Each structure stands twice: as C-alpha cells, then as structure tokens.
Amino acid sequence: MKIVGVCACTVGIAHTYIAQEKLEKAAKKAGFEARFETQGSIGKENALTPEEIAAADLVILAIDVKIADRDRFENKRVIQVSTDVAIKSPNKLMEKAKQIVENA
C-alpha cells in the first residue's frame, strides 16, 4: 500500500517534523510505502509530486492548520487527524488506513 500525506502544526516546527517521523516509521513497520510533505515556518519541504499523489492508495493529513495546495488530494481517500494523534497513535492510524483501503 502506498500512502502520501502532509504534516503541519500551528507553529510549523516541532510537531510537524515529529508527526512526519512517527508516521513514516509506523508505515514502514506496517509494510507500507509512505512519504510525507511538511509545511511549516520555512514553507514546503519534501514536496509531493503529482505522480506520487496519483499512485497513492490513501492520503493522511496530520494537520492543525490550513495547508497549501490541498486541492491536489481531490478524488483521493483522505484521513485527516491532528498532529497530536499522529504523534501519539501512529500505529493505530496505519491500521485505520489499511481498513479504509481494504474496504473501499
């Protein structure tokens, strides 16, 4: 399964990157391919390509603020949670992602 997503917290520093790291580790542990873009105080980093988005089975938005270019994910299955949820329960989030894709 391929997952892409965006992480963005209110300040755009700590929680953004912690969420990204936790989600990438949880995805790897679950056997998924995952890549997360960060949007923070220094702008977009690790920007997702249109090809990566098109190939993704699911999009996870771990965000506490509005993000730029959200319309890129139209017509994709999206899970939106706070960065806090992504940080505290990344493995449960991956289980939910798997259920959503399998039941689609």
What's the pLDDT tens digit per position in 17-47? 999 999 999 999 999 999 999 998 888 999 9
Nearest to 30 by CA among 104, 102, 99, 98: 98
**Domains in the chain, CATH or no CATH each:** 2-102 (3.40.50.2300)
13 φ/ψ angles, rounded to the nearest 5 degrees:
-125, -100
Residue 41 to residue 102: CA distance in whole angstroms: 36
The one catalytic residue among 3, 8, 9, 60: 9
Count of positions (residues) in the chain: 104
Answer whether 0.85 is exceeded by the pTM.
Answer: yes
Burial class (CB in 10 A: 0-12, 13-18, 19+), 80: middle
- Does residue 9 have an active-site annotation? yes
Question: What pLDDT, in 10s, does the model give residues 73-92?
Answer: 999 999 999 999 999 999 99
Q: Which of these, 1, 11, 32, 17, lies nearest to 62 by C-alpha position?
A: 17
